[in-house]
Structure 1
Amino acid sequence: MPVMWGVLISSTLSAISPILMAMVDPQWPYWYMAFIAQVLQPLSPDVLFTVGLLIVSAVFPSHTQALGGAVFNTCSQLGTSIRLTITSAIANSRTAASGDVDKASPNALISGYRAVF
């Protein structure tokens, strides 16, 4: 299978995840839509990480491929930690700004989750 098809298919499937989370009802069981959204969300980053690592390793000469892969992995992990920090701040601020009195209620939390997705 060509790499571009894998990237295109995984990106399309990952793009469905926010749509599902936007339509989820807090009263529904987790398995209706939220679980499917959680399964589809990491497909594209996982495929892109693998493809990117293979490309970076192929570009470097054989005696520095490990170094290139290590730098790529370090940058990826740093980007992931920054992304998680930003999305957590967005979700918490959106949940705090919700009109619900109980900020731990499903309706208050779903507004933060929707904003992040």
Structure 2
Amino acid sequence: ENYVYIDDVVRGHLIAMEKGKSGEKFILGGSNASYSDIICTIDNIQKRKHRIIKIPIFIVFTLTWIQVIVSNLFGKPPQVTFGWVKKFLNDWNTSNEKAMQVLGYEPTNLETGIKKTLNWLNNLN
């Protein structure tokens, strides 16, 4: 998966408007990281420890199938779909190399982006 800090996306669009050519495409990505990497980074920042449990994929699909059937019986949308499960099984790593070389785009590193996001969330109340 690729995670990007929102300020980087905004800044990247502004730089692309200034330096990019009309119709040229850029990936304004950030850090490629697994869900385990994200949880471990959050744990390190908050000085906590969460246990990550890996569930075999056949169990995930079985539970999803059961949940979809139950949701259909009660006329409610499922909370988890097969599309959602498949999304998390794919490798969604991306490269922002072109944006970095052509635009001078510099994304915030994962830990700093998560720290800023957590600070923002904590200040909502």
What is the TM-score of this pair, normalised by structure 2? Answer: 0.24
Higher helix share: 1
